[in-house]
Amino acid sequence: MQVTISSDSGHAETRLLRLNCDKRGIGTVKTRAASYSAAEDQMEHKYTYTIHASSTTTRSGIVGSDEILPPIAFSAPPEFQGEAGNWTPEHFYVASVAACFVSTFSGMASISKFDFLSLKLAAEGTIQKGEGGWCFTEVKLRPQLTIVLEKDRERANRLLEKAEKVCLVTRSLSCLVSLEPEIVVGAGR
């Protein structure tokens, strides 16, 4: 929810409010300053992404979208009686976090006019069996960001942290997301 707060001095500040509910339905409100560009104000407020999946053999199938080719073969992981060598739903889950983080960071860097030489990301998801069954308990993001100048290290770290916080996928997860960045000063492109 976005609200605008005005003070007696006439200063108005737009803030984002986020309601988080725990398992008992008890809510807490978090707030942060809203920072939208004119392009974001003109964006739609709802998008739908459709995929199709079909079974090919036991615990395996093909997933795809009418807008994206080629379709991708998948299977349950071998530890859950799936076929080795295929993408798994668990890999898709971690890949969606990684892809969102990378695209969020590079977009923020572009808007912020922050030049970097390269960004490589290793992402690792952990599942554990609990009372309700198996679920993801943590996703670790290990970005290696190569920058040109040492003086940009602090700014680079802030942008990496911000990308993790504003990434649509990481904000949608119920498991812990941890960021373990490595910033390297490199030479040339």
- Tens digits of residue pLDDT in 48-84: 999 999 999 999 999 999 999 999 999 999 999 999 9
Q: How far apart are CA 154 and CA 20, in angstroms?
A: 30
pLDDT digits (tens, 9 = 90+) for 145-156: 999 999 999 999
The better pLDDT of the pair 26, 86 is held by: 86
The torsion angles phi and psi of 150, rounded to 5 degrees, stand at -60, -35
What are the angstrom distances between the C-alpha of 102 and each of 48, 75, 145?
Answer: 21, 25, 11
Q: What φ, ψ does residue 107 adopt, rounded to 5°? A: -65, -45
Q: Strands 182-185 and 133-147, how do they pair?
A: parallel
Nearest to 170 by CA among 127, 136, 119, 134: 136
103-162 pLDDT per residue, tens: 999 999 999 999 999 999 999 999 999 999 999 999 999 999 999 999 999 999 999 999
- Is the Cβ–Cβ distance between 83 and 59 less than 8 Å? yes
